[in-house]
Structures are given as C-alpha cells and as structure tokens.
Amino acid sequence: LLSETPVLFKQELQNEEAKEGKQVRLTCELSKPGTPVKWMKGDTVLCASEKYEFKQHGTVAELIIRDVKSVDA
C-alpha cells in the first residue's frame, strides 16, 4: 500500500496588523493544492459569514476578516 504524503505548510501563517474597522487578510501556503482547510480561533471553528471570507487558490489558503475589532486578535 502506498501511504499518502502528509500535507505540510510551505508557508506558515504570519501575524498581521490592522486598524479597527478595517479588514485583514491572513494567508498560508500548503504543500498540496486543493487541500481542505479549517480556520480556527482558539478551539472555535470559523464559519464563512459577513465577517469571515475564505479563499483558496491552488496551494494558497486565505482568510479575510472584515470590520476588525480588538477581540479578533
């Protein structure tokens, strides 16, 4: 049996700064395109909404947080 190659981070998530009320974009790059990504804040899984938008292009996954507040840190 062939074991499946594990998916690794080619580029880890970096800290980003944003002003309150603006939006911020967080990105990471994976070793395998089309890998399902789950975005979390602590133990909470984030769901797509007016506030959170998820994008994935090949190996790059993006989280856009709109109307940033201090609680989003």
Asked if the structure places residue 14 within a domain, the reply is: yes
Mean pLDDT confidence for 29-39: 93
SS3 at position 31: coil
Asked if the structure places residue 40 within a domain, the reply is: yes
Asked if the structure places residue 66 within a domain, the reply is: yes
Buried b (16+ CB within 10 A) or exposed e, 13-40: eeeeeeeeeeeeeeebebeeeeeeeebe
SS3 at position 24: strand
Total count of domains within the chain: 1
Asked if the structure places residue 20 within a domain, the reply is: yes
Instruction: Please give the pLDDT value at position 63.
Output: 97
Instruction: Please give the pLDDT value at position 2.
Output: 66
The residue ranking higher by pLDDT, 6 or 22, is: 22
Instruction: Reply yes or no on whether the pLDDT at 1 is more than 70.
Output: no
**Domain limits at 30?**
9-72
Residue 40's pLDDT band, with cuts at 50, 70 and 90, is very high
Instruction: Please give the pLDDT value at position 19.
Output: 92
